[in-house]
Structure 1
């Protein structure tokens, strides 16, 4: 399965790349940090050393600095993250060795 086909991949996959480069305070990297346990259990390699300590709080603060509708956007991002995780978990359950980025 191609991870680019999963819902929310346009935010999650760049966040994963950010973490691999040591960047932990981007929107995508913070979303990956929020769901790092789920993503790891579903087969993704998450660099644990680069995770923000309180990603939910950090993400919300970042959004507040950038947007007037931080609450709405925060919830939309969490919904995208959940959709990505759900699709990844289903894919992993049925085809654990077929992931490509």
Structure 2
């Protein structure tokens, strides 16, 4: 029951936040500094989700070794992205390295 109430509560809060944006529309003006700061929110949230999954894939302790396919693939993908700046290539190569590395370890 608690889980259901938690999910419903999160849904209501999410709906209200999104509805306020549509209801208020152009009536609210953000300062230039706030607009600039809000540009970093998606990158920050994505980083907060991905980094723990890479460094601790089993959720227990850090796995900073070559036997961690997430870490190896993320390192290759980050280096490739820095060199090529091509997102699709980075995604394809990162996934290929991840699955290949995982296959070699098993």
Question: Same fold, TM exceeding 0.5?
Answer: no
Larger Rg: 2
TM-score, normalisation: structure 2: 0.29
Structure richer in helix, relative to its length: 2
